[in-house]
Chain A
């Protein structure tokens, strides 16, 4: 559907920086679109400049339904990805699963009920898992195995699986599922960006997998294309380029601390108290490559024309 014909958009996960960048891009393309942002987290600053009306609510609450009733959304962007915070894995997982699984079911039901035309779900390449038996260029129909070993990533895998099941059941609502590679950028606060930008971050000296990186602005651009250009389907989102994790660190330009992989986890536990927390699942991505195939996206969009190449993406991080 053309952005010109969209009158209102709901962005779920508005507290995230990717959501803010996306809102800015939408506003830039069509300032007449009414953007409603929701998140269970605190009210983010500077949303008024983006013409976003923000509500801090729990996705499962009934007043969430009121928003659908009042605003008659044409498009729903589900950008509320998982966040690795907190020390108690079990409670974090329970909370996260409750938010994502119950939440997404509720959202999908509301989309059908209030005749939303299109839903865009932001998943992640993490759902495939970094496993020793992974071939390169994982296709969209590759089994999602990330949660086999790491329960802390189960929320996003379940969310993705649920979205795909839902797509098959409710074809009237056009649904696009995006599985991007590592999104990095000066505003994104995810694990990989924090890892790349931390001086003396421990990097494995015995493994050096390739990574695909996408700039936050290019990802926001793909989300916009998911509204008006991509046919309903699941898409891996990645550039054609790749770089090893050691080379990526070199491009960013921070000093690193090469250590055997088995030491990274204990070191990360020490680092989390002073700098940041490396999620448990993340270590496996430093061992085995998880390169996704972007041919479905190429097929739909032709040339991807990303604004930043992989070197620029990493260079501007610091």
Chain B
């Protein structure tokens, strides 16, 4: 524990590398900003502050970084943990470890956009209200999108459902068809262990109009080592139109789901012990 704290406090991001990454990213957006509220300077400051957590606390390992080529993708991932820190870690991995770096535009619930301070901060770091129109406009501008087709069901899972993929919605596939983007499957291993599940207060969530209220023993994540696995890009079925029937679309969605499932199975085999030290 002392080692962990020591590493956390002493870990610093390579400022020169960060500067290079963000000068590249600033060039992609006019004045480093966009209409959805992205602010490259804030995103940079956030990554710089959160880097010790990424590197030393969650000891993130990224596998398959060469699978992401220099083009925009619809990044599709499993959703894990009671608090969705997986989005933050995937976003950091794509900004810091993949060439060329990119800001993944994660889709968030309207409840989050209504939160004081947090809503603005999420927007500044690249998150966007989950809406089909937002998504397609961002894709038109060449942004890679991060989606969790399991939605809230993915983060409010009980312990016996950890790493079991929930039902996928199919909207992401229709959007990929409209934009022509390939799908990049991603599996996150380690986030489920960050928040031991106690109970899901479904009726209270419904009463309060919140997407979910999963009870956990803690709301600051435990230092579980996290692995992010990127699979081979999946080409969209060009014979399908974005207005194809649900039956036709769901067939393709199942292929994506099955790819993520196999990434999870492989990832679980290589998963580190909870107290594993960082590989140096």
Where the two chains meet, the residues of A that have a C-beta atom closer than 8 Å to any C-beta of B are 132-137, 139, 206-210, 242, 244, 260-261, 287-289, 291
Q: Mind listing 7 A-B residue pairs with CB under 8 Å?
A: A136-B137, A137-B137, A206-B117, A207-B120, A208-B37, A209-B37, A210-B37
Are A289 and B133 closer than 8 Å at their CB atoms?
no
B35 & A207 in contact (Cβ 8 Å cutoff): no
Q: B2 to nearest A CB, angstroms?
A: 37
Decide if A260 touches B116 in the complex (CB within 8 Å). Answer: yes
Interchain CB contact (< 8 A) of B37 among A139, A206, A260, A289:
A289
CA distance A137 to B36 in the complex (A): 10
Q: Are A135 and B120 in contact (CB under 8 A)?
A: no
Q: What distance in Å separates the Cβ of B110 from its nearest Cβ neighbour in chain A?
A: 4
Inter-chain contacts of A208 with B (CB < 8 A): 37, 120
User: Which A residues lie within 8 Å of B111 (CB)?
Assistant: 132
- Chain B residues with CB under 8 Å of A209's CB are 37
Residues of chain A lying within 8 A (CB to CB) of residue B232? none
Q: In whole angstroms, what is the CA distance A118 to B265 when docked?
A: 67
**Of A135, A242, A244, A287, which is within 8 A of B129 by CB?**
A135
B120 touches A210 (CB 8 A): no
Residues of A within 8 A of B134 (CB): 135-136
Bound-state CA distance A207–B117 (Å) is 6
Is A136's CB under 8 angstroms from B35's CB? yes
Are B116's CB and A261's CB within 8 A? Answer: yes
- Tell me the B residues contacting A by CB distance below 8 Å: 35-37, 110-111, 113-114, 116-117, 119-120, 129, 131-134, 137
Tell me whether chain A's interface is mostly helix, strand or loop, or mixed.
loop
* Chain A residue with Cβ nearest B136: A135
In Å, the complex CA distance between A242 and B123 comes to 15
Q: How far is the CA of A208 from the CA of B113 in the complex (A)?
A: 11
**Shortest beta-carbon distance from A288 to chain B in Å:** 7
CB-nearest residue of chain B to A131: B110
B114→A135 contact, CB < 8 A: no
Contacts of A139 in B (CB 8 A): 133
Q: Knowing A133-B110, A136-B35, A137-B35 are in contact, say whether A207-B116 is a contact too (CB < 8 A).
A: yes
Q: Identify which of B110, B132, B133 contacts A137 (C-beta below 8 A).
A: B133
User: Shortest Cβ distance from A34 into chain B, in angstroms?
Assistant: 43
Residues of chain B lying within 8 A (CB to CB) of residue A135: 129, 131-134, 137
Given A132-B114, A137-B35, list of 11 further CB < 8 A pairs? A132-B110, A132-B111, A133-B129, A135-B133, A135-B134, A136-B36, A206-B116, A206-B120, A207-B119, A210-B37, A288-B113
Nearest residue (CB) in A for B134 is: A135
CB within 8 A of A242: which of B35, B120, B137?
A: B35
CB closest residue in chain A, given B129: A135
Give bound CA distance, A209 to B117, whole Å.
12
A208-B37, A260-B116 given as contacts; is B133 within 8 A of A133 (CB)? no
Q: Which residue of chain A has the shortest Cβ distance to B115 in the bound complex?
A: A206
Collect the chain A residues with CB atoms within 8 Å of residue B37's CB. 208-210, 244, 289
Residue of B nearest to A205 (CB): B117
In the assembled complex, the Cα of A27 lies from the Cα of B117 at a distance in Å of 49
Inside 8 A of A289's CB, which chain B residues have their CB?
A: 35, 37
A contact residues around B36 at 8 Å (CB)? 136
Nearest-neighbour CB distance to chain A for B42, whole angstroms, equals 11
Q: Are A133 and B35 closer than 8 Å at their CB atoms?
A: no
Chain A residues within an 8 Å CB radius of B137? 135-137
In whole angstroms, how far apart are the Cα atoms of A309 and B120 in the complex?
A: 25
For A137, what are the chain B residues with a Cβ–Cβ distance below 8 Å? 35, 133, 137
Judge whether B113 and A132 touch: CB under 8 Å.
yes
What residue in chain B is nearest A212 (Cβ atoms)? B35
Residues of B within 8 A of A242 (CB): 35
Q: Which of B116, B117, B131 contacts A133 (CB 8 A)?
A: B131
Q: Smallest CB–CB gap between B46 and chain A, Å?
A: 15
10 residue pairs, one from A and one from B, having the closest CB atoms: A206-B116, A135-B133, A135-B131, A132-B110, A135-B134, A206-B117, A132-B114, A133-B110, A242-B35, A208-B120
Whole-angstrom distance between the alpha carbons of A206 and B113 in the complex? 11
Within the assembled complex, what's the spacing in Å between the Cα atoms of A291 and B134?
Answer: 11
Contacts of B110 in A (CB 8 A): 132-133
A134 to B134, CA, bound (A): 9
The residue on B at minimum CB distance from A139 is B133
Closest chain A CB from B128 CB (angstroms): 8
Q: How far is the CA of A153 from the CA of B231 in the complex (A)?
A: 51
| CB nearest neighbor in A for B133 | A135
Of the listed residues B35, B119, B131, the one surrounded by the most CB atoms of chain A closer than 10 A to its CB is: B35
Which residue of A has the minimal Cβ distance to B116? A206
- CA A136 to CA B141, docked complex, whole Å: 13
Tell me the bound Cα distance from A209 to B134 in angstroms: 15
Which residue of chain A has the shortest Cβ distance to B30 in the bound complex? A241
Q: State the CA gap A134–B132 with chains docked (Å).
A: 11
Complex CA distance for A59 and B120, rounded to whole angstroms: 45
- A261–B119 Cα distance when bound, in Å, is 13
Q: Which residue of A lies closest to B114 (CB)?
A: A132
Looking at the assembled complex, report how far the CB atom of B136 sits from the nearest CB atom of chain A, in whole angstroms: 9
CA distance A123 to B17 in the complex (A): 50
Q: How far is the CA of A260 from the CA of B133 in the complex (A)?
A: 30
The chain A residue with its CB closest to the CB of B132 is: A135
User: When chains A and B are docked, how far (Å) is the Cα of A299 from the Cα of B29?
Assistant: 24
Contacts of B129 in A (CB 8 A): 132-135
Shortest C-beta distance, A304 to chain B (Å), equals 16
CA distance A287 to B35 in the complex (A): 15
- In the bound complex, how far is the Cα of B137 from the Cα of A208, in angstroms? 21
A132 CA / B113 CA spacing, docked (Å)? 7
Q: Which residue of chain A has the shortest Cβ distance to B117 in the bound complex?
A: A206
